[in-house]
Structure 1
Amino acid sequence: MSNWKTRLKYGTTIFASTLVLAACGDSAVPGPDDVAQGETDGENDGEGAVPQAEEGDTSTLMVGLTNAPDSFNPFYAPGVSGKWIQRFMYDSLLVMPEADSWDNALASKFDTTDNQTFEIELNEEANWTDGEPVTADDVAFTLNAIANPEIETSLGTRIAMIEGTDDSGILEEGAESLSGVEVTGDKSLTITTKTPVDLALIQEFVGFDVLIAPEHIFGEMEPTEISNSEAATQPSVFSGPYKFVEYDNDNYVQLEANPDYYRGAPKIETIYGRIMNGTALVTEFQAGNLHMAAGGGIGMVPIQDVSLLEDIEGLEVVENPSFNGQYMIINNDVFPDPEVRRAFIHAFDRQLTVDNLLEGRGEVLSSMYTSASPYNSDDIQPLEYNPELAKEMLEDAGFDFSQTLRLGVPTGNAIREQNANLIQQWLSDIDVQVEIQQYDFPTWLQVAQDLDYDIGMMGYGHTVDPNVATYVQTGATSNNSALADPKIDELLERGNEGTSFEERFPIYEELQQYMQDQAVIVPLYSDSQFSVQVDYLNGGINKYWAGSLHDVHEWSLDPQ
């Protein structure tokens, strides 16, 4: 067994590079994996070197990532890795250490008496790293920037409940600013929603998912210039516990502590997010060269290697269910008949995927939601594996068996790639021919957004709140399935208007049943989340992965 009380060994090559942005998407946290409500989880070789951490050094944390950050732009985080790194640098109004549990961050107050007007007060001590105070104008600017159709953003559905936006979170035509956002003082503002909403919805979507950006930095730019600006690609002004230092493309990102952080100076001075593939991640843990894996689809240990890490002395490995899932998306323009889409699902032995590829560490999905979600309906079961029925349904629907389907597969997630091979085989078993087309993840996002595919593999990261509009609402920019279903839109709207779990659950249960009946997306599986870290790290990944950084400024390494 490896002993973790050994010296961390690293090389010394450093060079800076600018971040190349991926295609835009309208996403939420992650998820894991691909699209951050979604996640991008392409793995990287990580062969470059980072500075050496000296023996006994408790000031430097080495974190393993299998997914490179795709954006440092606080308005734009289509991938979960980019959003996760951004959380070190930019604070939100609230933090969420556990599912459905919030603590104050930039906001010292986030209250309502009628579930429609929300009063927000900001921490008096909160400042930007250049000394300027974080103000209500910064919050208002951030929300208005997200709503601005000229600004590239992945957060539109996050603010779509605010008065003055359309259903996609875009500013109403002819308006110059959001009518539902009013600054009432230097450190106070109100947010008014179109209709009463569940407090939990706005706390998560606006309070937690939106990172507040500095108006005095981004407000001086033309809206169309923000995404490629130096402030977005190599940022320098922050409100969070850490500051960006450099990004060595597909190798590492370096962060340094913000000593003036209003919630307390971080105990760990330097953090390196080291980017590597899953095999290298395991090897580096075995060699004692990492303190933790990022988890959540961006620092993923291959399932088949988890047992190797569980046997390492001084390494803690914890398995938890995930909110995130893997899906086969279907181009509904190419396959408008729900009978054809349902036939595809009946052709897939999804339990085999869980039992063999995941080694039982996961679950078959019946809907967009996993068992971790309180909105998952136990009454809706996965459609059965029945290839004979699948072929019969296709024949009855007049399916053209002479065509070859294009199956888009992003590289990097080995299990997903293997599952794509199984899907190709399962469809071949019912005489449906499939050609696998592989892409790096940013390219695949663009292909999917352009609808230049027939079927494809995609991971979606989900919020605790059940709103999945970012993926299935008409016009949402992460709606990569050509969905334009009035019934889905209506259920999403009703779900948002509920002001309690009791009101909302039956609406989302109906949504799950309807989406299964229409088979607009194929739920495949959800793999377990694994927290992997040394036992002398105080802090780290939580059971609710997305809230793990709520106390990162308090993390520490015990001397070894």
Structure 2
Amino acid sequence: MKQTLTAMAIALAALTAGQPSTAQAEGKLIVSSPQDPGSWDPIDTFLVNWASLATNVFEGLTYRGPDMKLVPGLATSWEVLDDGLRIRFSLREGVTFHNGEPFDAEAVKFTFDRLLGNEGAKGPQQANYSAIDSVEIIDAHTVDFHLSQPDAVLLTKLAGYGAMIVPPRYITEMGDDVFNIRPVGTGPFRMTSYEPKIGVKLEAFEDYWGGAPELSELEYRFITEPATALAELQSGGVDLVIPPTIPVGMIPTIEAADNLELVTTAGPTVTALRFDTSRGITADADVRKALIMAVDRETIVNTVLGGQASVIASFQGERSFGYDPEMKPLPYDPEAAKDLLKKAGVAPGASVEINTRGNDATFNEVAQAVAAYLSMVGVNATIKPYETNVLLNDIIPQGKTGEMFQQSWGGWTFDFDNTAYAMYHTGQKWNPYDSDPKLDEMLETQRPLADPAERERLLQEIAAYAADRALEMPLYNLNAIYAINKRVKNFEPAPDSRLKLNHVSVE
């Protein structure tokens, strides 16, 4: 099968061979993306770099754009019924998939049966939609979602990732392996070639229900090295560099260029150093608190990050539902940190390993600063970088990290549930070490609450409880930083990096 898929990828690449490859081609936009997600199936992924491209290929029943407002997508309207246990969606008519297959109620039911079934169980998205018990077809353009319990975030979840509507006939006939590399959706662009680790080419879908895109072609190049991405931007090899590529140290170079522009916006991405709470010195909550207090996070934000972030007290930013403005981070207090370490029996010279994403130049600078601060309280930190996919798909989920490991989380729903459940609930992929029945109960209790104020209060309690247990060293909420050629017009930066580029044009 592997040889067959490789041959197919080569064949797909050949579809666009001989076309202009420079960013100066009229009607063509070239984007630098730092990571190949490895699969284009919506239920296989959690990666922001998937969404920054695939938002142009796939659509959900709802849509949330850069202004953060939830609006109709493939559903024109919806009605919440039966005390939140049923949602009726009216579907958009006259919509077709890129292969000509019609979008209808059958496609919606197929999508969610697949997501909530055996195929979805293989990926990371199924747990986000566990409140959906079944999808019932009322007629060709009406469906009812029957829920096992109310889910206050479900309508937002339907705007992204696993809930993207997929074509039943295409997947049934071609199979999941083909769909992974040759996706078909209803979005404004359709994929014409995918070369793993190299890039993706798309063309305008002229029959798009929202009108043909301004661009005729869209290309994403996978450029992992920030310096290479910036050089390509300067030379015209790419038009747009998306987060999280641009290290803060490169910002002055971009700002000094006459033809380039820096565009930033407060994003959902929060970064922390999470702890192995199961063994070693970080099994002790007091030791974890000492390590947090040993690090001057404010100085890191102002120096290493050039002020393009804000210090966080919990694993969420201020736009997140569940954020508590009264909650303060543990203070920078190296003397108190030394006292805690001494009381915990941690002798000077103790060591910890910090695992990072190797291609994240900015965070590796942050990690060096953290290591320097830890050394001042007698803890020797070594930094071990991994290739991003290896760290995210093997090292963390399999519980093979060092005492501390980088976790950057998009929290794209801007609701703390999306982060907290994944990070803290027993058995979740991103929680390989910790199991806390009280925390599990809190997480489960807030999910079905219909009262927003009550749910927000409980989310704030969850954040405080996790902070008291020091499950991670909260570091910062990073701005989404885009670098763009000024010939690109009508570009609007998405806080969550989910770019829909059908209204963008190039001169």
**TM superposition score normalised by structure 2:** 0.88
Change (3 A) 1:539 1:501: farther
Q: Mapping of 1:17-96 within 5 angstroms?
A: 18=9, 52=20, 57-96=25-64
Change (3 A) 1:162 1:376: same
Aligned to 1:203: 155
The residue identity in structure 2 corresponding to 1:194 is S
Aligned to 1:466: 416
Aligned to 2:300: 353
Deviation (angstroms), 1:290: 2.6
Change (3 A) 1:53 1:474: same
The reply on whether 1:289 has 2:237 as its aligned counterpart is yes
Give the secondary-structure state (helix, strand or coil) at the position aligned to 2:193.
Answer: strand
> More helix per residue: 1 or 2?
2
The reply on whether 1:525 has 2:476 as its aligned counterpart is yes
Q: Is the 8 A contact 2:242 2:497 kept in 1?
A: no
Aligned to 2:291: 344
Aligned to 1:317: 262
The residue identity in structure 2 corresponding to 1:313 is D
Q: Partners in 1 of 2:263 and 2:269 — Cα distance? A: 17
The residue identity in structure 1 corresponding to 2:44 is Y
The reply on whether 1:279 has 2:231 as its aligned counterpart is no
The residue identity in structure 1 corresponding to 2:506 is L
Change (3 A) 1:56 1:305: closer
Change (3 A) 1:98 1:273: closer
The reply on whether 1:433 has 2:380 as its aligned counterpart is yes
Deviation (angstroms), 1:553: 2.3
Q: Structure 2 residue aligned with 1:115, among 75, 84, 87?
A: 84
Q: Is the 8 A contact 2:266 2:495 kept in 1?
A: no
Give the secondary-structure state (helix, strand or coil) at the position aligned to 1:324.
Answer: strand
Q: Is the 8 A contact 1:294 1:541 kept in 2?
A: no
The reply on whether 1:554 has 2:506 as its aligned counterpart is no
Q: Partners in 2 of 1:379 and 1:134 — Cα distance? A: 47
Deviation (angstroms), 1:275: 2.3
Q: Mapping of 1:223-372 within 5 angstroms?
A: 226=176, 229-235=177-183, 237-276=184-223, 277-295=225-243, 297=244, 300-334=245-279, 335-372=282-319
Q: Mapping of 1:476-491 within 5 angstroms?
A: 476-480=428-432, 482-491=433-442
Question: C-alpha deviations, 1:487-509, integer Å up to 9, x for none?
Answer: 22222223222335323221111
Question: C-alpha deviations, 1:9-64, integer Å up to 9, x for none?
Answer: xxxxxx98859xxxxxxxxxxxxxxxxxxxxxxxxxxxxx9953579743211112
Aligned to 2:146: 192
Give the secondary-structure state (helix, strand or coil) at the position aligned to 2:416.
Answer: coil
Change (3 A) 1:287 1:17: farther
The residue identity in structure 2 corresponding to 1:158 is N
Q: Partners in 1 of 2:50 and 2:324 — Cα distance? A: 31
Aligned to 1:214: 167
Give the secondary-structure state (helix, strand or coil) at the position aligned to 2:481.
Answer: strand
Change (3 A) 1:285 1:546: closer
Deviation (angstroms), 1:538: 3.1
Give the secondary-structure state (helix, strand or coil) at the position aligned to 1:444.
Answer: helix
Q: Partners in 2 of 1:381 and 1:330 — Cα distance? A: 20
The reply on whether 1:153 has 2:123 as its aligned counterpart is yes
Change (3 A) 1:287 1:100: closer
Change (3 A) 1:478 1:215: farther
When structure 1 is superposed on structure 2, of 283-292 and 268-277 the one drifting more is: 283-292
Question: C-alpha deviations, 1:70-93, integer Å up to 9, x for none?
Answer: 321221113211232222212111
Deviation (angstroms), 1:400: 6.3
Q: Partners in 1 of 2:193 and 2:130 — Cα distance? A: 34
Q: Is the 8 A contact 1:71 1:83 kept in 2?
A: no
The residue identity in structure 1 corresponding to 2:55 is R
Deviation (angstroms), 1:105: 1.9
Q: Partners in 2 of 1:404 and 1:359 — Cα distance? A: 29
Change (3 A) 1:287 1:96: same
Deviation (angstroms), 1:518: 0.6
Deviation (angstroms), 1:374: 4.6
Give the secondary-structure state (helix, strand or coil) at the position aligned to 1:389.
Answer: helix
Q: Partners in 1 of 2:126 and 2:490 — Cα distance? A: 32
CA root-mean-square deviation? 2.5
Aligned to 1:455: 404
Q: Is the 8 A contact 1:69 1:85 kept in 2?
A: no
Q: Structure 2 residue aligned with 1:508, among 459, 466, 485?
A: 459
The residue identity in structure 2 corresponding to 1:514 is Y
Give the secondary-structure state (helix, strand or coil) at the position aligned to 1:553.
Answer: coil
Deviation (angstroms), 1:516: 0.8
Deviation (angstroms), 1:353: 1.2
Give the secondary-structure state (helix, strand or coil) at the position aligned to 2:77.
Answer: strand
| Number of aligned residue pairs | 485
Deviation (angstroms), 1:278: 1.3
Q: Is the 8 A contact 1:89 1:239 kept in 2?
A: yes
Gaps spanning 5+ residues in structure 2: where?
Answer: 1-5, 11-16
Deviation (angstroms), 1:268: 0.9
The reply on whether 1:388 has 2:335 as its aligned counterpart is yes
The residue identity in structure 1 corresponding to 2:233 is F
Q: Is the 8 A contact 2:200 2:220 kept in 1?
A: yes
Deviation (angstroms), 1:204: 0.9
Question: C-alpha deviations, 1:167-190, integer Å up to 9, x for none?
Answer: xxxxxxxxxxxxx32122222211
Matched residues, percent identical?
22
Q: Is the 8 A contact 1:366 1:383 kept in 2?
A: yes
Question: C-alpha deviations, 1:118-153, integer Å up to 9, x for none?
Answer: 111221111122222112222222222222245422
The residue identity in structure 2 corresponding to 1:268 is L
Deviation (angstroms), 1:162: 1.9
Q: Mapping of 1:139-150 within 5 angstroms?
A: 139-150=108-119
The residue identity in structure 1 corresponding to 2:117 is N
The reply on whether 1:126 has 2:95 as its aligned counterpart is yes
Q: Is the 8 A contact 1:99 1:464 kept in 2?
A: no
Change (3 A) 1:331 1:290: same
Aligned to 2:13: none
Change (3 A) 1:460 1:234: same
Deviation (angstroms), 1:520: 0.8
Aligned to 1:443: 390
Q: Mapping of 1:145-184 within 5 angstroms?
A: 145-151=114-120, 152-163=122-133, 180-184=134-138
Deviation (angstroms), 1:358: 0.5
